[in-house]
Amino acid sequence: MRLAELSTRSGVSTATIKYYLREGLLPPGHRVTATQAEYDEKHLRRLRLVRALIQVGRVPIASAREVLTALEDDSLDHNSRLGTAVWALPHGPEPLAGDPATDAARHTVDALLDRIGWRAGRGYGPESPAYGMLVTAVATLARLGYPCAVDDLAPYARSAGQLAVADLDLVERHGSPDEQLEAAVALTVLYEPVLLSLRRLAQAEESNRRYGQGGSPEQA
């Protein structure tokens, strides 16, 4: 397909596609003349991933390039490529060094991971951005006096484990390993607002079940 068709099928303007090409986020097309190139389904799939990262996930260009580089690293196995790509996604603030609340939160997080058995494998160690983000969140809860003991966090961790199964079930619907890796990164970005929305809807439903009169908040 030519650039115009790629733009139509992807929903991304030709100017933006050219920008992604210049930034190395999209591989060059197959040159057919000095001024024209052909693009294929791989370009379309990659463009959709780039759009998910940058336009929807608000991932900075540099971070998006790091994610895509990890996906293309053939020296890594399937699991490591996915882990490296997800690590490159933007995360929350780093834990505060030398902070007593942070130190206590690390102990809580380590105990939580030990309890649910998440200590063996890529992504669970102290160097993981997700680990650091969890430590920061637990430390903040502790500073503000909200529940954040292992018993409080364990139900969330178990629910997250079930969600991870659903995530990878979705990923495995895609055929090739490359397609699965791209889908895993895109779904990580695109499903986070889905999870947030469903959690809030579930909270509203449970609150209404416990405290309401069976109607909407306006009717209660």
- Which domains does the chain possess? 3-87 (1.10.1660.10), 92-151 (no CATH)
Mean pLDDT calculated for residue range 121-146: 85
Neighbours of 157 (CB within 10 A): 16
Q: What's the mean per-residue pLDDT of the chain? A: 87
Q: Taking Cα atoms as reference points, which of 151, 139, 69 lies closest to residue 99?
A: 139
- In the block, which residue shows the tokens 């983000």? 133
pLDDT exceeds 60 at position 219: no
Mean pLDDT calculated for residue range 54-77: 84
Structure-block tokens of residue 5: 């068709």
In tens, the pLDDT along 14-28 reads: 999 999 999 999 988
In tens, the pLDDT along 22-63 reads: 999 998 898 888 778 999 998 998 898 898 888 888 888 988
Q: Taking Cα atoms as reference points, which of 89, 188, 97 lies closest to residue 136?
A: 97
Mean pLDDT calculated for residue range 110-133: 80
Give the span between the Cα atoms of 46 and 76, in whole angstroms: 19
pLDDT at 217 (0 to 100): 55
| Secondary structure letter of residue 3 according to DSSP | H
| pLDDT class of 220 with cuts at 50, 70, 90 | very low
Give the span between the Cα atoms of 114 and 108, in whole angstroms: 10
pLDDT exceeds 80 at position 120: no
Hey, what's the torsion of the CAs at 93, 97, 102, 104, to 10 degrees? 150
| pLDDT class of 150 with cuts at 50, 70, 90 | very high
Give the span between the Cα atoms of 10 and 41, in whole angstroms: 11
Higher pLDDT, 156 or 36: 156
pLDDT at 104 (0 to 100): 96
Structure-block tokens of residue 48: 């959709």
Give the span between the Cα atoms of 116 and 43, in whole angstroms: 40
Mean pLDDT calculated for residue range 178-190: 86
Beta bridge partners of 30: 38
Mean pLDDT calculated for residue range 176-201: 89
In tens, the pLDDT along 101-113 reads: 999 999 999 999 9
Give the span between the Cα atoms of 214 and 125, in whole angstroms: 45
Give the span between the Cα atoms of 210 and 48, in whole angstroms: 42
Q: Which of 66-80, 92-106, 111-125 has the lowest mean pLDDT?
A: 111-125
pLDDT exceeds 80 at position 123: no
pLDDT at 148 (0 to 100): 97
Q: What's the predicted TM-score (pTM) here?
A: 0.80
